[in-house]
Structure 1
Amino acid sequence: MAKNDVKLLGAWPSPFVMRARIALNIKSVDYELLEEKLGSKTQLLLQSNPVYKKVPVLIHEHKPICESLIIVQYIDEAWSSGPSILPSDPYDRAIARFWGVYIDDKWFPLLGGIGKAQGEEAKKAAVDQVHEGLMLLEEAFGKCSKGKDFFSGDRIGYLDIALGCFLGWVRVSEKMNGVKLLDEAKMPGLASWVEKFCADSAVKDVMPDTDKLSEFARMLIQFKANAHPPAS
């Protein structure tokens, strides 16, 4: 399929955009990435996603699909090329979706809370919450992987994409806050999974460089500070 049939509205630092890019790579789909800039929204984005007005948006044959996990599911169903992304078993599929919702609704907001914490005690409490979430995901990995390399078994699938897209931001949080989030001793399954996930051919070219992402994070903090200056 030609690139002009598939467009992805996104931004390179976005973990949610990364989900769509990995899924497209798994299916060997050629696509055009249209970068949105920080602080502005193109007319195409506003027209394509008038409800949330945010990336990612997949445009396939002029039809927009929004929300990252919905996009991943759409890609899996729309293209038969490449391996399946969602599990074939209905129960396994439901479990993968359950943990995908947990990651977005519960765990990822906790990760962002580390940088917002004021004082050492608050930071430690925020780190502990992230650790607790990762321990739950370590347990989920053991059950879902059934002793294999990925949550989905022998190869990357839905839940791998749902969590793996945040690994760049985990590294940034560790670097900028001087903390260790992925404890190899307590989370051996996840630690091994991280290495294999990042080395996968569908992932390695879209996983952002930690230094570059850290620089963007500092710029984002400054951008938000300028947009919402403290009251005098």
Structure 2
Amino acid sequence: MSQEVVCVDFWANGFGMRVRIALREKGVQFEIKEEDLQVKERSKLVLEMNPVYRSIPILIHHGKPVIGSINIVEYIDEAWKEGPALLPADPLDRAKARFWSDYIDKMLFSVQTKFLKSKGDEKEESKAELIANLKQLEQVLDDKKYFGGDQFNFLDIMLITFSSMFSGYEQHGNFLIGVECPKLMAWVKRCRERESVASTLPDDREMYELHKIWYGIE
């Protein structure tokens, strides 16, 4: 591999987008190795670098792999001290950021999957749960500019990649996130004005169209 830092990822992988945003926030030059998640077979590189889970994203630094999006972003923050800090300096604030990151992955992502795949009453129930999850996160944001206060940081990175599916949520469920969670949508707008985010997040329509294929949505 020609570069010191390589990100193995798929363009529509929200978890991998976190890694690319974090690297760009830190000003780290990196190479992207595209792994097509639309095919079942994983590449030789993925099998070699992540033989346990065979999943992406994978950060390869000096030829050594780092696995798991949350773990990778923490690694980036520790490995490149010269850039802006991503995790809060205060231990309690760091613990809170990790807690809500876990909430996003365990609650929001699982509800998103259920919402997109379900039908009838189950879909309405999952839509209500999805909105409740977003409102919970909006309460955490409160009136702050970013989840990290005045500074865009770790928890912002964890959640902003999900915003590439917000338009899809609205189309799929016939509701407006801006009505349900106005502060959260204002935060999305601020985040998307950042170069690191704007250059990473894909087109919302393309994201939803791909998810429609993945989840068999007509």
Give TM-score scaled by structure 2 length: 0.93
1:93 maps to 2:88:
no
Q: Answer whether contact 1:76 1:85 (CA < 8 A) is retained.
A: yes
Q: Answer whether contact 1:17 1:68 (CA < 8 A) is retained.
A: yes
1:36 maps to 2:30:
no
**Which structure has the greater CA radius of gyration?**
1
Amino acid at match of 2:125: A
Select 2:185's aligned residue among 187, 191, 198: 191
What's the counterpart of residue 8 of structure 1?
7
Select 2:197's aligned residue among 192, 196, 203: 203
What's the counterpart of residue 228 of structure 1?
none
What is the number of residues matched between the two proteins?
A: 215
3-state SS in 2 of match to 1:51: coil
Select 1:180's aligned residue among 168, 175, 185: 175
Amino acid at match of 1:79: W
Once the two structures are superposed, what CA deviation does each residue of 1:115-163 show, in whole Å capped at 9, x if it has no partner?
11121x2221111001111111111112xxxx43100122211100111
Distance in 2, Cα, partners of 1:181 & 1:62: 45
Distance in 2, Cα, partners of 1:82 & 1:33: 20
1:107 shift after superposition: 1.6
3-state SS in 2 of match to 1:53: coil
Q: Answer whether contact 1:111 1:130 (CA < 8 A) is retained.
A: yes
Once the two structures are superposed, what CA deviation does each residue of 1:87-135 show, in whole Å capped at 9, x if it has no partner?
000000000000000110112111121111121x222111100111111
CA 1:109/1:178 → structure 2, altered by over 3 Å: closer, same or farther? Answer: same
Which 10-residue stretch deviates more, 43-52 or 18-27? 43-52
Q: Answer whether contact 1:127 1:181 (CA < 8 A) is retained.
A: no
Distance in 2, Cα, partners of 1:135 & 1:211: 23
Distance in 2, Cα, partners of 1:188 & 1:74: 33
Give TM-score scaled by structure 1 length: 0.87
Q: Answer whether contact 1:7 1:33 (CA < 8 A) is retained.
A: yes
Distance in 1, Cα, partners of 2:103 & 2:176: 18
Q: Answer whether contact 2:57 2:68 (CA < 8 A) is retained.
A: yes
Off by >6 Å, runs of 4+ in structure 1: none
1:219 shift after superposition: 3.1
Amino acid at match of 2:58: V
CA 1:204/1:9 → structure 2, altered by over 3 Å: closer, same or farther? Answer: same
3-state SS in 1 of match to 2:65: strand
What's the counterpart of residue 110 of structure 1?
111
Q: Answer whether contact 2:12 2:202 (CA < 8 A) is retained.
A: yes
1:181 shift after superposition: 5.2
What's the counterpart of residue 151 of structure 2?
155
RMSD: 1.8
Which 10-residue stretch deviates more, 123-132 or 10-19? 123-132
1:179 shift after superposition: 2.3
